[in-house]
Structure 1
Amino acid sequence: MARRRRGLDYSTLQRKGRLPVWLSITWRALFVVGLLGVAVLVHWIERDGLKDNYDGHVSFLDVVYFTMISVTTTGYGDIAPVSDRARLFDALIVTPIRIFAVLIFLGTAYSFVFRRTWDRWRMAYIQRHLHDHIIVAGFGTTGSEAVDELIARGTDPSCIVVIDGDMQALERAKALGCAVMEGDATRDKALHAVKIERARSMIVTGGSDDTSILITLTARHLAPHLGISVVVRNEDNETLAHQAGATTVINPVSFAGLLLAGSTHGPHISDYLMDLASDRGRVKLVERMVKPEECGRSLTEVSTGMGLRIYRGDAMYGFWEPEVATLVPGDVIVEIVPTSAREVHDA
C-alpha cells in the first residue's frame, strides 16, 4: 500500500497566529465600527443629498440614524437619498458595508458559538465511543512516521488518537483522519480523556527520554494491562523504560547501528531488514495467535508464511528448538509473510 500524506503542505515556514477569544471578538467589532464610521462620515459630508421627510432638516443624529437603518436594511423611508451622489454612495459603498457587517457577525457567531458547540458535542461523542483504539503520545518525526506506517498496514485512522501540545502537529494528524487532543500526556486527566483504559495499545514518543518514561509510568498506572511501545534514545534508559511499564522499548540509534553493521556483511542484509520492518516491501513480519487448526502441528508446517519464533507464556523459542515441534493453544507466532502482489505494486 502506498503511503501518502494527505491534507496541507507543511514544508513552508509557519508562525503561530491564534488570537485570544476576547481579542478576536474585539478586532471584529472594531472593524465593523470602523466601517460604520466611514459610512456616517461620508453621509454627513453629503448630507445635502439626503432628505428628511419629517422636519426637512438633516442633523448629525439623523445621519447616524439613517446610516444604521441603511446598513441593517431596515429602511423606514423617513430619510432618503435624493441626490445622484448620495444614491451612488449607498449603492456602491453602503451595500458592501452591509454585506461585510453581516458576514462578520455570522462568522463570529459560527466561530465562537456554533462551531465550538458542535466541536464540543463531536469530541464528547468520539470520547464516549472510543474503544480498542491506539493512542499516540507525541506527533513529532517518530510519532508521525509510526502513524503513517499504521495507516499503511490497514489501521483505520479514526481508530488512532494523537495527544500533543503542538497545534501544528495536531493539524497534521487531523489531516490524516486521526482524532486529536491538545494536552500533556504525562497528566492523568489527559489520558483519562482519551479513554486509555479502553485502548488497544499505546505508542510513546515524548521527544525526550525522561518525558517518554514519565508518560509510560502514568499510562501504566492507569492501564495495568495496556501494551505500551516507547522510544528511547539513550541505551541507559532502556532498562528504566521497561521498569516504568513499557511492553516494548525501541532505540532508533541502536537499530540504525544494527542496519549499518549488517550492511558490512553484505549489501542486501540491511535492505531485507528494512523490508521486514516496513509494510511497503515484498515481505513483512507478522505477529499473530496460533489458529485452532494449527495446534498439534509444527511451526514449520504453518501455511500462511515462514514461522520464525513462538512465544509461549514468558518463554520464546526459535524455529530450530524442539519446543516448536508441537504448537499449543495460546502460542504467539512471529512469521514472515509475503506482501500481496497488489500491495507491492501500489508501494
Structure 2
Amino acid sequence: MSKPRIPTTLHRRSRMPVWLSIGWRVGGVLALLALAVGVHYFDREGLRDTYDGDVSFLDIIYFTAISITTTGYGDIAPVTERARMFDALVVTPIRIFVVLLFVGTTYNFLLQRTWDKWRMAHIQRNLHDHYVVCGFGKTGSDAVDELIARGVSAQDIVVIDDNTDSLAKAEACGCTILQGDATRDSVLEDVKIDRARALIVSAGRDDTSILITLTARHLSKKVPISVTVKADDNETPARAAGATTVINPVSFAGLLLAGSCTGPHIADYMMDLASITGRIALGERTVKPEEIGKPLSQIATGMGMRIYRGGKPYSYWEDEAQTLQTGDVIVEIVPQGMAKARRTAVPDAVSPESGS
C-alpha cells in the first residue's frame, strides 16, 4: 500500500503567549491606521469637508476610520487625483488586510477552539471498538497499514504521537490523530482507552513503551495491549506492566535469519503467515460449543496449532490439546480467504493474563 507523499517544512511551536499574539495584531492595525492618517494629513489639501470646509486633524482621523471600515458617509471626500489614487491603491488594501486580520484573530482564538472542542467531543462519543496506536514511527505506521489491509477502517484507528510530521502522515491515511504524551492518563482517557478494541504501543524507547503500557492497564483492565521492546531483558517488565503481547522485532529478525540458513523457504513462510497479503494466515479464536470434547486436530475451520488454557500454551501433540474445553483459545492456520472473512473479529477470550 503506497502512502501519499506529505510535504514537510521546518516548524517550531510558538512560545508566544496569547495576549502577546493579540497585542502584535492590534499593534499592526494601529500602525496601518497611523500610516493612513499621516498620508491623509500631509495631503489634506486633496480632501474636501462639505460640512464646514475645513479639514482638521480630527477630521483626518474621522475620515481615515470611516474609509477603512467602509462606512463612508460622504461628508469628507477626496477631490484630487493624488488623494483618490492613495485611497484606491493604499487605503483599500489596508482595509482588506484589517478585515482579514480581525476575522483571523476571531477564528484562531474563539471559533477554532470552540469548533475543535465540539469536534473532539463528537469524535469521542463515537469511539467504540477502535484501535489505539501509540507512536507512528516505522513500526507503528506499518502496523496501521496492516490493519487497514486487513479491512479495519482508518476512521477506527486513533494515532497518538507528539511529532506533528508523524501525525500529518497518519491523518493522510485517514486515521484520527491526537498530539500528546501517551504516558499521561488524560491523553489515554481522551481516546477512550476503556472502550478500545486493542492498543498497539511502539514508542521507540522501551522505558516509554512500558510506561504507556502501565498507564493503559491502569485505565483499562480488559483492553488487549501489544507492545514492542528492543531489549530482551525488557520483555518481562513489559508483561508485568500489563502487556498482553510483547514483541521483540530484533529477536524475531534473528530467528528468521537463523531459520533461513537451514531452509531458504522458512522465512518466506513466516512472512506469509504474518502478512494479510500471503496465501495463508494465523487465526485466533475461542473454542466453539460444538468443538468442546474434540481434539484440536479435528477442528473444521483450519489447522489447529496450539491452544491456550488458563494462560498456558499447549501444542497440538500434547495431551491437553486432545480434549478441547470451554474457554480454550485456539491458534490455527487458515486459508487467506477465510482470514479475510473474519479479519475484524477479536477473540473474546484473550485477556491480559493469557500471555503470548
Instruction: Return the match for 1:190 from 187, 208, 211.
Output: 187
Q: Distance in 2 between matches of 1:5 and 1:25?
A: 39
Q: Residue 143 of structure 2 corresponds to which residue in structure 1?
A: 146
Q: Residue 16 of structure 1 corresponds to which residue in structure 2?
A: 12
Q: CA deviation at 1:211?
A: 1.6
Unpaired stretches in structure 2, ≥5 consecutive residues: 341-356
Q: CA deviation at 1:78?
A: 1.1
Identical-residue share of aligned pairs (%): 62
Q: Distance in 2 between matches of 1:119 and 1:100?
A: 26
Q: Residue 108 of structure 2 corresponds to which residue in structure 1?
A: 111
In structure 2, the CA distance between the partners of 1:263 and 1:91, relative to structure 1 (3 Å rule), is same
Q: CA deviation at 1:66?
A: 1.1
Q: Distance in 2 between matches of 1:295 and 1:330?
A: 10
Q: Residue 88 of structure 1 corresponds to which residue in structure 2?
A: 85
Q: Distance in 2 between matches of 1:13 and 1:181?
A: 20
3-state DSSP of counterpart to 1:226: coil
Q: Residue 288 of structure 1 corresponds to which residue in structure 2?
A: 285
Q: CA deviation at 1:261?
A: 1.1
TM-score, scaled relative to structure 1: 0.86
Which residue type is aligned with residue 3 of structure 2?
R
Instruction: Return the match for 2:258 from 254, 258, 261.
Output: 261
Query: Contact 2:225 / 2:243 at 8 angstroms: preserved in 1?
Result: yes
3-state DSSP of counterpart to 1:236: helix
In structure 2, the CA distance between the partners of 1:46 and 1:184, relative to structure 1 (3 Å rule), is same
Q: Residue 248 of structure 1 corresponds to which residue in structure 2?
A: 245
Which residue type is aligned with residue 120 of structure 1?
K
Instruction: Return the match for 1:5 from 3, 6, 13.
Output: 3
Once the two structures are superposed, the pairs formed by residues 16-35 of structure 1 within 5 Å of their partners are 16-18=12-14, 20=16, 21-35=18-32
Q: Distance in 2 between matches of 1:186 and 1:19?
A: 23
Instruction: Return the match for 2:65 from 56, 68, 89.
Output: 68
**CA offsets, 1:203-255, max 9 Å, x none?**
22232111221222222222222211111111111111112221111111101
Task: State yes or no: 1:317 paired with 2:314.
Answer: yes
Q: Residue 43 of structure 2 corresponds to which residue in structure 1?
A: 46
70-79 vs 296-305, greater mean Cα deviation: 296-305
Q: Distance in 2 between matches of 1:147 and 1:55?
A: 74
3-state DSSP of counterpart to 2:227: strand
Q: Distance in 1 between matches of 2:26 and 2:179?
A: 29
Q: Residue 350 of structure 2 corresponds to which residue in structure 1?
A: none
Q: Distance in 2 between matches of 1:335 and 1:121?
A: 45
**CA offsets, 1:288-346, max 9 Å, x none?**
233445555554444444332222332333233454455444332222333349x9xxx
**CA offsets, 1:155-198, max 9 Å, x none?**
22222222223333333323333333333222223323322222
Query: Contact 2:158 / 2:191 at 8 angstroms: preserved in 1?
Result: yes
Q: Residue 354 of structure 2 corresponds to which residue in structure 1?
A: none
Q: Distance in 1 between matches of 2:299 and 2:84?
A: 87
Query: Contact 2:6 / 2:169 at 8 angstroms: preserved in 1?
Result: no
Q: Distance in 2 between matches of 1:304 and 1:38?
A: 80
Task: State yes or no: 1:210 paired with 2:195.
Answer: no
Once the two structures are superposed, the pairs formed by residues 223-238 of structure 1 within 5 Å of their partners are 223-238=220-235
Work out the number of aligned pairs and report it: 338
Q: Residue 352 of structure 2 corresponds to which residue in structure 1?
A: none
Structure ranking higher on relative contact order (CA contacts 8 Å, 6+ apart) = 1
3-state DSSP of counterpart to 2:28: helix
Which residue type is aligned with residue 248 of structure 2?
N
Q: Residue 99 of structure 1 corresponds to which residue in structure 2?
A: 96
**TM-align CA RMSD:** 2.6
